[in-house]
A and B are shown apart, each in its own frame.
Chain A
Amino acid sequence: MTDQESLLLSRRGFLAGACCAAAAPVLAPVSFAAMPGDNRFVTIILRGAMDGLDLVQPYGDPAFAALRPKLGRMPDTGLLDLDGFFGLNPAAAPLMPLWQARELSFVHAVSTPYRNQRSHFDGQDILETGGNDKSQKTGWLNRTLAVIPQSGRRTAIDINASMDLILTGPNRVASWSSQSNFALAEDELAFLERLYAQDAPFAEALAEARSTDISADSLYSDGKRGGGIADMARLAGGMLKGDYRIASFSINGWDTHVGQQAQFRKAVADLSTAIVTLKDSLGAEAWGKTVVLAMTEFGRTARENGTGGTDHGTGGLAVLAGGAATGGKVLGQWPGLAPDSLLDQRDLMPTGDVREVAAAMLYQQFGISPGNLTTKVFPGLSFDKSSIYLRA
């Protein structure tokens, strides 16, 4: 189905439903297709601090194996080699076809300007508000809407139904949720277990609920979670295929302090499902005009901890996918994992600003001027047309 056909379909449904005209631009389908504004942009917030060193493992770095005795892999132990230095966690195998089609890239060692505190709440606030600190009160993707040329013709959607700060602000955003029931992420369950560890009857009730998966609306089923993520991505893809050009949603489950291997596998499966489903539901043509940026509040410690996990760190990893993304590369400036190269001798040293990655994509997709990007969208960011993420 072409864009025009899908637009016709949705327009007809729209008129038949006799809904509010304010919700969508009334345009002839042909002029819509001809508009210079066919590009799409999706952000996925990976909440809980995604371990970039686990997703894209620098197996070629001489210090890596010693830092990650349990979590680290090599190409001969299942790691999916990307470029002879980095390899992809095998849990992300569903993404390999995109890598091979040059529709997937990674940006290593990036972070927000947030330093030293390593609090999820503050880290996510800064990631979503896009400032140098917590002074910004609205989401950067919301502010973006005001500076897109001809922005009245484009609409954005928050697939999480109103919780995400990134799209919160003065500009109009539609907020939707798929109707699927949603299961808790593994790290959220681990936190509940900790919360209840002090109270035996609560701990027992939770353990039993998890083991029996009692009700149809259970919070604990992996299957339900996968289905929920797929529904969310399908909803986003469908909306973007129609009138929407910007969408955002979150994937939880990345706070892997204990037993990371199993938890991470599930979270990566969620991310893979989201990206692959987005591609499928957008269709080839729209996917070709789409960039998906998945990013997290900060990375995790370079060294494994004593409980098979990792703790809050600094330098992290961003994921770029889509037909409009320059694919098949691990971008960024690799700082190395030698002890002196680490930040505070513990974290991957951030060598790039994740906001610059976002700014480059907004510039590329919507033609937003660097002046607007560095003042209104990301106040305090250095970005111009020579950005390495544009030359990539």
Chain B
Amino acid sequence: MALANETLAAIRYGYGLRPGETAPRDAAGLLAQLEAGRTAKLRFPREGVAGRRETATRIISLRAAESKATKEGKPNEAIRRQTQREAQRIYRQDAMARLAQAVYSPLGFHERLATFWTDHFSTSAMKSLPMRMVVPLYEAEAVRPNMAGTFARLLKAAILHPAMLIYLDQDQSIGPDSVAAQKSGRGLNENLGRELLELHTLGAGSGYTQADVRAAALILTGLSVDNRALQVVYKPRFAEGGAITLLGQDYDGDEGEGQDHMLMLEDLAAHPKTAGHICRKLVSHFVDDTPPEELVTPMLEAWTRTSGNLTDVYRAMLEHPRAWSDPGRKIKQPFDFVASGLRAFGLPETSLTDLSRDMDQADVDDGAVDKAMKMASDMAGAVAGQVTGQGAGQMEGDAALTGAPAIGGETVANEAKRRGGRANSLTLGALQRMRQPIWQPPSPAGFADQASVWLSPSQLTERISWSRNMAKAYGQTIEPLPLLDAALADAAGPETRKIIGQAPNKLHGITMVLASPEFNRR
């Protein structure tokens, strides 16, 4: 099956078709997005990078002060609760903004690359409370600005960010012979050293040894985080002295300077195994789980020729005919599935901000809702029991969409809760259920990418269920076949078109557009 270039570009290299948006038709069009992406509006962190640094350091300082007070026997539960709640809300709003970014940015390839690299250099917002606020910042200031230059530059920006150092415990790692170790008895943590070789650069099974892992970890000692300022700092007292050998290369241990790790990162970026690892990973992400070597070869040549300039590497992939043929071998990851579904409906940006606000509202009104619920259940008869019956409401999760009838203690606050639940079930809650919560990869290896992982019975069930919720939420003014055209254009097979046209009801017709194999493949 050959697709129109615009269709393939939108589906394989972007977040899918969106009515009113023109997809690029060739490599040049896709690459132009990288330049445009530099200055394009980024929807998170919600307060901007500088604003986020202020918010985060304020909350972190508050918590540090509270911890100190607790140690002195003067705990302040209110501050603990309030800061926890605030960090959680900031994370949720940023996660919604990240979804909106994928849905509303016309620079789909740029956005997909941001997701690819954020996942390649995985960090998790679940690591600690501060990380809820730091991980979005990390994507915004370390990953996104550096994905069109050299790999070495991106590598250094990602590794040398507080998010990475916190996530992989570098701030806990101390050279065994360092000054600090001799006093504290603490020691080396190999976490970042190992993942640096295995995941970020050379790749698993590329020939390095356990001694190399340890050597990388030793070279990284001294790197730490000033938690209050959210800055990477070099602490000579943590650094391992003396010469360290990694992959046959000596790093002198120029104590106090803190330059060895920079040299190491440059050497690892330049290593041929790294080029092979990264190029294959790009191709298996965008094109096929088993990367066609015909596609990888010109990318490796570009990498060598330009010392790892990523734009040239992307170009080598995109200019190859194989990059534009044989679609449908990958299954969209859940985030991509949800983002492309929201795009297909052509919803205005206010739709997502409304959902985000509904979630904020449900959160703000928590206390009132609980009280109202209690009152309702105390007072109500059988009818009210049905009306206020809680349940996770994941499948239906419908709020009162119009009107707020007042039967059996149903209250405004209760409605806020319903609306919040509905908004959640269409967005973040759905991603949670599909096992791809935003900025929460299951391990430093990131989310699984193989097609087979995302086509299990439970995954399919969740996707059908979400599709139905979408049909209920946004399907009133849309017909199934026009939606199919908007979502898939010529990627919709004739049989799919026929079956959807015959659906026994519109709700199911719309559901089937999103649940179709064509919409889930890319």
Contacts and interface: CB of A to CB of B under 8 A. Distances in A.
B400 A175 contact: yes
B107 interface: no
A255 B515 contact: no
B398 to A, nearest CB: 4
A287 to B, nearest CB: 15
A163 interface: yes
Contacts of B504: 47-49, 120, 185, 187-188, 191, 252-255
A161 B468 CA distance: 13
Contact of B496 (A157, A160, A185, A195): A195
Contact of A14 (B406, B507, B509, B517): B406
Interface residues of A, number: 78
A320 interface: no
B411 interface: yes
Contact of A206 (B386, B460, B509): B460
A212 B414 CA distance: 35
A281 B515 CA distance: 36
Contact of A239 (B396, B407, B520): B407
A8 B506 CA distance: 40
Contact of B387 (A9, A238, A252): A238
A181 interface: yes
Given A121-B509, A238-B382, A243-B405, A13 B376 contact: yes
B480 A121 contact: yes
Contacts of A206: 457, 460
Contacts of B383: 6, 10, 235, 238-239, 241-242, 281
B376 A17 contact: yes
Interface in B464-522: 464-465, 468, 471-472, 475-476, 479-480, 493, 495-496, 499-509, 511-512, 515-517, 520
Given A124-B505, A177-B396, A195-B512, A214 B407 contact: no
B391 A180 contact: yes
A168 interface: yes
B412 interface: yes
B387 A23 contact: no
A173 B517 contact: no
Interface stretch (A83-91, A197-205, A329-337, A370-378): A197-205
B78 interface: no
A244 B405 CA distance: 10
A23 B404 contact: yes
Contacts of A212: 457
Contacts of B517: 195-196, 198-199, 202
Interface of A: 6, 9-10, 12-14, 16-20, 23-24, 47-49, 119-121, 124, 155, 157, 160-163, 165, 168, 172-182, 184-185, 187-188, 191-192, 194-196, 198-199, 201-202, 205-206, 208-209, 212, 214-215, 217-220, 231, 234-235, 238-239, 241-244, 250, 252-255, 281
Nearest to A178: B386
Interface string B148-186: 000000000000000000000000000000000000000
Contacts of B412: 19-20
Given A19-B412, A176-B405, 7 more contacts: A16-B375, A24-B406, A24-B407, A174-B405, A209-B457, A238-B386, A239-B383
B458 A214 contact: yes
Contacts of B395: 181-182, 217, 219
B455 A205 contact: yes
Given A161-B472, A198-B493, A215 B375 contact: no
A120 B218 CA distance: 69
A192 B406 contact: no
B372 A195 contact: no
Contact of B459 (A16, A176, A205): A205
Given A195-B516, A209-B458, A174 B400 contact: yes
A198 B496 contact: yes
B420 to A, nearest CB: 14
Interface in B10-61: none
Nearest to B379: A13
Nearest to A5: B381
Contact of A10 (B396, B407, B511): B407
B348 interface: no
A24 B403 CA distance: 10
A219 to B, nearest CB: 6
B409 interface: yes
Contacts of B495: 198
Contact of A13 (B384, B396, B403, B457): B384
Contacts of A254: 504
A238 B401 CA distance: 19
B406 A48 contact: no
A231 B382 CA distance: 11
A209 B502 CA distance: 24
B355 to A, nearest CB: 15
A181 B398 CA distance: 10
A242 B394 contact: no
Between B390, B458, B496, the greatest number of chain A beta carbons within 10 A of the residue's beta carbon is seen for B458
B402 interface: yes
A312 to B, nearest CB: 9
Contacts of A24: 405-407
B461 interface: yes
Q: 4 tightest CB-CB pairs across the interface, nearest first?
A: A238-B383, A48-B504, A255-B504, A209-B457
A218 B455 contact: no
A163 B391 contact: no
Nearest to A155: B405
B408 to A, nearest CB: 4
A54 to B, nearest CB: 16
A252 B508 contact: yes
Given A163-B507, A219-B461, A238-B382, A23 B406 contact: yes
Contact of A217 (B407, B410, B465, B508): B465
Contact of B403 (A14, A173, A182): A173
A238 B407 contact: yes
Contacts of B396: 161, 177-182
21 contacts: A16-B409, A23-B404, A47-B505, A49-B504, A121-B479, A121-B503, A121-B509, A175-B400, A188-B511, A192-B512, A195-B496, A195-B500, A195-B512, A195-B515, A201-B455, A209-B460, A235-B383, A235-B387, A238-B407, A252-B507, A254-B504
Contacts of B384: 10, 13, 238
Interface in B403-437: 403-412, 414
B456 interface: yes
A121 B403 contact: no
B372 to A, nearest CB: 6
B376 A177 contact: no
B409 to A, nearest CB: 4
B508 A17 contact: no
B256 interface: no
A101 B479 CA distance: 42
A180 B395 CA distance: 8
B389 interface: yes
B406 A17 contact: yes
A243 B375 contact: no
A202 B391 CA distance: 30
B292 interface: no
Nearest to A9: B381
Contact of A192 (B414, B479, B515): B515
A231 B380 CA distance: 17
A231 B396 CA distance: 12
Between A179, A185, A214, the greatest number of chain B beta carbons within 10 A of the residue's beta carbon is seen for A179
A290 B380 CA distance: 24
B476 A205 contact: no
Contacts of A192: 464, 512, 515
B393 interface: yes
A172 B400 CA distance: 13
A120 B400 contact: no
A359 B500 CA distance: 33
A168 B476 CA distance: 9
A215 B403 contact: no
B411 A202 contact: no
